[in-house]
Structure 1
């Protein structure tokens, strides 16, 4: 090699091979122009018009769905009486709590089952009393517990007391339970349950003591209603097996109060139901009370 020959170019030095592959971190916001994807070709004007139409229809559908959901939620959260077209006129019934028959002692049958044709109630008599409806003011002396024969007798006219007291003794009433309340409209309600040793004794007391087992014959006069007549509006169809109801009402709406009364005979138990109100005790809540108390005694 002469001194006039050019020196050979030095080969680039390759870095030594790493023992582990290096970690590559992509730049957070920078991208080389060479690596960027190619820009899409602009759509033809007709394609853009179609896309705009689809967008408008999609927005309209979403708006309708939103309005429909909002309306459904609004109706679902409203009370029935607040929804136009769904309001129902109040028919006068009272709002009683949900009723259930009381538990029985183990092995004891229901009063009118095949195992107890005598109509004996084995449940606590106080648990068979109809509870007071919503909005009622409870009577402190008739609070759903036991009461005396004298308190029961106080419902009747004074002249009837001797005969009824004698019958209570002769047929040996065992227990008397009672509940009373007053509604916001002024209606006063009272229920007495009298239990005897047998259905026969309860029936004899009802027949001879208070003259209660004939719809056409008024029973012993109440203190609040010396004269009563048959409640012809009462519909006895659909009654409870073994349970009979005998309702009466004071004629007209005069006097200090107007009274409706009824007896319910259910096996060994006799009930007296009384509703009083100045200007007229309404038929609907009275019949409702009578039906529900009959169900509890069935």
Structure 2
């Protein structure tokens, strides 16, 4: 058998009648694929590189914005609402075995921590009051916040209730806003409540020095700390040399007074005053 015949028998089935198979015609070869022109390849390459560069730039920009603070992004800065920048707050350590004022083991709601450590610290940028530096103060210093005509009656009440300690801290902000905070601790919750009842009446409170009267602060949303009560007052119009705000927090055996004022016609607004009152309330609760 020749090479041609062997090749034919391998690719063509034998004739059923035994006749030799006809010649096999090979299928035509596919036409060659034309190669793209070089300039087309260069154009595609350029567009691919451009897409990668733009994609990388966009991803980097998105990551950069996501990692920035809101106030660092132009157009997304949030205008300050007047709040001050206080340091991180934490409750002071208690004597060994002493409970917190509102725990189950402290029915009398006594603050066993050092009263000076429960004072709200001054915010960033403040100038400390040298007289009210966070230490102990006298009854006379506390009474000096009230109108002179009101001091004798309040003084007699303090003599009868005999507060254990009075701690105070004060500061002034760069815009001239002055804040003073007093914490008065008594031997029982009843004495703290008695003093508060003598200071406040329906819709008003004992006026502070430099003011003629007070009205309820209608912007105050109330206390959020369980077990405590807050009462907030504003100065009646027309204001004197400074608009004076005062707020009280009664928390167990301790009464807090927060005073804020600013001389001149411009007013700091109620936000920093309410902020100080809320934070002081949290420290006492």
Query: What band does the TM-score fall into relative to the shorter chain?
Result: 0.7 to 0.9
Deviations 1:113-159 (A, max 9, x none): 11112211011101111111111111111111111111111111122
Which residue in the other structure is 2:207 paired with? 221
Distance in 2 (alpha carbons) for counterparts of 1:165 and 1:281: 31
Which residue in the other structure is 1:265 paired with? 250
- Kept in 1: contact 2:242–2:262 (CA 8 A): yes
Matched, 1:111 2:98: no
Which residue in the other structure is 1:138 paired with? 128
Q: TM-score, normalised by structure 2?
A: 0.80
Matched, 1:292 2:282: no
Matched, 1:80 2:90: no
What SS does the aligned partner of 1:260 have? strand
Distance in 2 (alpha carbons) for counterparts of 1:50 and 1:145: 83
What SS does the aligned partner of 2:205 have? coil
- Kept in 2: contact 1:142–1:179 (CA 8 A): yes
Matches within 5 A, 1:1-298: 45-46=35-36, 48=38, 51-53=41-43, 55-72=45-62, 74-75=64-65, 80-208=70-198, 211-212=199-200, 214=201, 216-236=202-222, 239-252=224-237, 254-278=239-263, 279=265, 280-298=267-285
1:169: how far off?
Answer: 1.4
RMSD: 2.3
Q: TM-score, normalised by structure 1?
A: 0.77
Distance in 1 (alpha carbons) for counterparts of 2:177 and 2:228: 26
Q: Which moved more, 1:223-232 or 1:63-72?
A: 63-72
1:83: how far off?
Answer: 1.5
Deviations 1:85-112 (A, max 9, x none): 4221221111122211112122211101
1:69: how far off?
Answer: 4.8
1:178: how far off?
Answer: 0.5
Q: How many residues align?
A: 251
What SS does the aligned partner of 2:245 have? strand
Q: Which moved more, 1:132-141 or 1:172-181?
A: 132-141
1:182: how far off?
Answer: 0.7
1:60–1:253 CA distance, 2 compared to 1 (3 A) = farther
Stretches (4+) displaced over 6 A: none
